[in-house]
């Protein structure tokens, strides 16, 4: 098949049948982290690059022959919404199957009313927000002439007002660029206005074209989860289990972590539970005794309680 691939397994969308609508690479941005390489020529005009009937036929054939598809996801070799008949495809797919439909997009065209309209029947839309300032937006996403930061933010806000499906904003976290407290605070402020249902932090795990992209360290990732959860629940990019070593010097171990980044109370409790399996009273006592040390404060961020060092 030319346009349909998978299902691929993804943490966020389970078994996702991918649908690529574009010739490679067709994009309105030239992100420094793009796994497709540099954008040699910007594409800003929407078009039916391939006949929509052909793409629909491929999707329906895949749905008939494959079992265990959790999502049908429009994504691919550039900016998905540059494909003009996305709305038609979404409608036709939804007439034929009850599998939910998601669209992954950079969001650069959401300022256009017709683009927002075409997405209204989808079940989830995953647009990008990688910067909370114009300067960082231009450094990270490097948009085509005519695409501005303000336009991008306005598009996201307007779309949220009109869209009742799941809005899951993706943030690509890049070391030394948007992982500072200031940059994260700027993004959190914008996201508070946008009101996404969730924020997904993603990491630059694949080779980038200009070698300008660094992987943030664990402390910065934790900091990003903490700061962005002011705006909405945050999905951690690769959550492993918190390791506390042994029950000896628990207070010092937890202090050593908390001075570097806030600790999610739920995870802390689970980690202590692994040290005292089957002993919930002991776990409760350990938590109480650490809090009684006076070293920590509890902070509610979004729906999560965090432990932070008391100033």
Binding region for ligand SF4 (CB under 6 A): 27, 29-31, 34, 36, 39, 78-79, 106
**What tokens does 210 get?**
């200009």
Q: How far is the CB of 153 from ligand SF4 (least distance, A)?
A: 16
HSE-CB for 183 with a 13 A CA cutoff: 23
Q: Looking at beta carbons only, is 106 or 178 nearer to ligand SF4? A: 106
**What tokens does 260 get?**
């570097």
Q: How far is the CB of 66 from ligand SF4 (least distance, A)?
A: 26
Helix/strand/coil percent split, the chain, to 5: 35, 20, 45
Q: Looking at beta carbons only, is 30 or 122 nearer to ligand SF4? A: 30
Q: How far is the CB of 106 from ligand SF4 (least distance, A)?
A: 4
Q: How far is the CB of 27 from ligand SF4 (least distance, A)?
A: 3
CA 294 vs CA 18, 54, 167, 260, 272: distances in Å = 51, 65, 39, 17, 19
Q: Looking at beta carbons only, is 80 or 229 nearer to ligand SF4? A: 80
Task: Compute the distance between CA of residue 280 and CA of residue 29 in angstroms, rounded to an integer.
Answer: 51
Task: Compute the distance between CA of residue 99 and CA of residue 155 in angstroms, rounded to an integer.
Answer: 27
Q: How far is the CB of 216 from ligand SF4 (least distance, A)?
A: 17
Q: How far is the CB of 299 from ligand SF4 (least distance, A)?
A: 33
Q: How far is the CB of 82 from ligand SF4 (least distance, A)?
A: 10
Q: Looking at beta carbons only, is 73 or 106 nearer to ligand SF4? A: 106
Contact 35, 206 (CB under 8 A): yes
CB atoms within 10 A of CB 234: 24
Q: Looking at beta carbons only, is 151 or 253 nearer to ligand SF4? A: 151
Q: Are strands 124-126 and 166-172 parallel, antiparallel or unpaired?
A: parallel
For residue 288, count CB atoms less than 10 angstroms from its CB and return exposed for 0-12, middle for 13-18, buried for 19 or more.
exposed
Q: Looking at beta carbons only, is 27 or 257 nearer to ligand SF4? A: 27
Q: How far is the CB of 140 from ligand SF4 (least distance, A)?
A: 9
CA 210 vs CA 106, 177, 188, 232: distances in Å = 20, 15, 28, 32
Q: Looking at beta carbons only, is 202 or 250 nearer to ligand SF4? A: 202
Q: Looking at beta carbons only, is 29 or 149 nearer to ligand SF4? A: 29
Contact 174, 32 (CB under 8 A): yes
Task: Compute the distance between CA of residue 236 and CA of residue 222 in angstroms, rounded to an integer.
Answer: 8
């Amino acid at each position: 098949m030319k346009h349909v691939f998978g299902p691929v397994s993804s943490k966020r969308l389970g078994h996702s049948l991918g649908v690529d609508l574009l010739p490679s690479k067709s994009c309105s941005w030239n992100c420094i982290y793009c796994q497709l390489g540099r954008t040699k020529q910007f594409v800003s005009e929407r078009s039916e690059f391939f006949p929509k009937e052909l793409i629909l036929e491929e999707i329906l054939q895949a749905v008939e022959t494959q079992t265990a598809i959790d999502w049908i996801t429009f994504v691919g070799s550039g900016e998905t919404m540059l494909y003009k008949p996305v709305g038609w495809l979404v409608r036709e797919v939804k007439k034929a199957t009850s599998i939910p439909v998601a669209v992954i997009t950079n969001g650069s065209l959401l300022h256009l009313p017709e683009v927002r309209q075409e997405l209204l029947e989808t079940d989830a839309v995953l647009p990008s927000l990688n910067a909370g300032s114009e300067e960082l937006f231009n450094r990270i996403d490097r948009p085509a002439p005519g695409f501005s930061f303000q336009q991008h933010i306005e598009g996201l806000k307007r779309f949220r007002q009109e869209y009742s499906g799941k809005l899951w904003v993706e943030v690509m976290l890049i070391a030394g660029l948007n992982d500072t407290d200031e940059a994260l605070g700027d993004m959190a402020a914008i996201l508070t206005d946008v009101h996404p249902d969730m924020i997904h932090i993603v990491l630059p795990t694949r080779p980038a074209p200009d070698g300008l992209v660094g992987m943030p360290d664990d402390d910065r990732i934790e900091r990003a989860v903490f700061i962005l959860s002011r705006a909405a629940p945050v999905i951690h990019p690769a959550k492993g289990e918190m390791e506390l070593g042994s029950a000896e010097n628990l207070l010092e171990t937890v202090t050593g972590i908390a001075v570097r980044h806030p600790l999610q109370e739920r995870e802390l409790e689970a980690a202590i539970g692994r040290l005292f399996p089957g002993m919930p009273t002991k776990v409760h006592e350990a938590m109480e005794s650490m809090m009684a040390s006076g070293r920590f404060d509890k902070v509610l961020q979004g729906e999560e309680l965090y432990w932070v060092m008391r100033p």
